[in-house]
Structure 1
């Protein structure tokens, strides 16, 4: 008879078995690992249940609480977001000045604002966005973010002309308002409005001195210059009014703060949402001052994609 065949273990078993069985049986060690994993998983689920239970009272059911509207403005280097109630009263806001196109500031500010209000994007009733005129990249950031939120959460979107927003805090029945926004190249975008917010002539992009010389022929009443672009040109506007010397048409350069435009956006959007005057998510587009300077031929004229007609009212 030959010698009995010797059973051998595979290389993997020879190496792994001593390590797994050291001091305790292999099955015992496996059971210990299972128990540890089981306790860890149970503890993890328990923590998640506690977190959900803590957040549940803050979840807002639609129709049970007051309206909440998010407003986004990236029309210039001064950007901001705000949450307002049904009356358009701002509850909380964030403002900043961007050196680029607001990409780094916008969505972190939205997340911070929602967290401060102890709410979620799905609890909002709508989103409003300033459509410009303004720089191409800056407007795209704000409008794209607003569209993304509206699409994901399923609430309506409202777009408002930025020149009308600049003019709104300064409208008066006894005069007219000229809103200025910086257009680059030492030019300004100008919109002229009557006391009820109606445009009285077509918007223009011109040098500031030409904008002053091209004042529309208006009846008696004060002409109020307002907007972000007038802030640094107050002296030139005052000098122009003094040179004209017409007491029946005084010229006033209104003070400006970054919050003016954002507060006006919240109020106008809340009123439009109450009247169910919302915009189409697909067709809504910004109102650019110019086409981007990279990748396309240089053109001097404006691109009017999202701008309302010259006779429309933003009240």
Structure 2
């Protein structure tokens, strides 16, 4: 098959990956202190196409990180993806941001908890098993000392908010993988290819990023 262009802009990481049959051909990304998505995204897209010596007509689909994450970042990524899909008459694929973040972790047992910062002690989180399938749905929550206390398995936390998380999440079965901060378009390739094969496409005209607005406080079940 042809190529899928993957776009990830849900966090500070502005990331673009070109993939063929689910395998990465090229990836361009930058994660700075500020958000450089508006300046860098289209540059990265052009560079991936040029350096792979292909043309935009070789693309069979565009995949975009659907959220949750930064409102502005998601809007920029989705707008770019929609524009390409409209112009090229190709399908749009949406990839779960937290699933692609969790995909950076390979474990044989336990659970993976990707979390993205949502200011103060608020986070977007989900729980995934060893095959990166959801064991708990995405939630917007305010972290407390009781968060995740119902889990007895080893929990591997990843994301851009681990320093603040460690001040309240102190159970012995909690492991923090501090080197994994941001989702990347590289991890999107597997999921976008799978969705493409299954024809799980979005309506280009009406698709919107997945925003989470309401935050819940986790209380002890004891």
Query: TM-score higher than 0.5 here?
Result: yes
Separation in 1, partners of 2:77, 2:14: 9
**CA-to-partner distance for each residue in 1:55-113, whole Å, 9 max, x for gaps?**
xxxxxxxxxxx421100000011110010111x12111111135236111111111122
User: What does residue 241 of structure 1 align with?
Assistant: 171
User: What does residue 160 of structure 2 align with?
Assistant: 228
User: What does residue 28 of structure 2 align with?
Assistant: 94
Q: 1:104 to 1:260 in 2, by over 3 A?
A: closer
Alignment of 1:250-265 (within 5 A): 250-257=173-180, 261-265=184-188
**Structural RMSD (CA):** 2.5
Whether 1:213 aligns to 2:213 is no
- For the residue of structure 2 that corresponds to 1:114, the secondary structure is helix
How far apart are residue 236 of structure 1 and its match?
4.2
Separation in 1, partners of 2:106, 2:201: 24
Separation in 2, partners of 1:258, 1:106: 19
Q: 1:288 to 1:78 in 2, by over 3 A?
A: same
Normalised to the residue count of structure 1, the TM-score between the two structures is 0.61
Of Structure 1 and Structure 2, the greater helix share is in: 1
User: What does residue 59 of structure 2 align with?
Assistant: 124
Whether 1:193 aligns to 2:128 is yes
Q: 1:278 to 1:152 in 2, by over 3 A?
A: same
Q: Structure 1 stretches of 5 or more lacking a match?
A: 1-65, 243-249, 291-300, 303-315
Separation in 2, partners of 1:108, 1:205: 32
Alignment of 1:37-116 (within 5 A): 66-86=1-21, 88-97=22-31, 99-100=34-35, 102-116=37-51
**CA-to-partner distance for each residue in 1:10-46, whole Å, 9 max, x for gaps?**
xxxxxxxxxxxxxxxxxxxxxxxxxxxxxxxxxxxxx
Alignment of 1:166-177 (within 5 A): 166-170=101-105, 172=107, 174-177=109-112
Q: 1:251 to 1:258 in 2, by over 3 A?
A: closer
Count of aligned pairs: 214
Q: 1:280 to 1:171 in 2, by over 3 A?
A: farther
Separation in 2, partners of 1:206, 1:235: 15
* Greater Cα radius of gyration, structure 1 or 2: 1
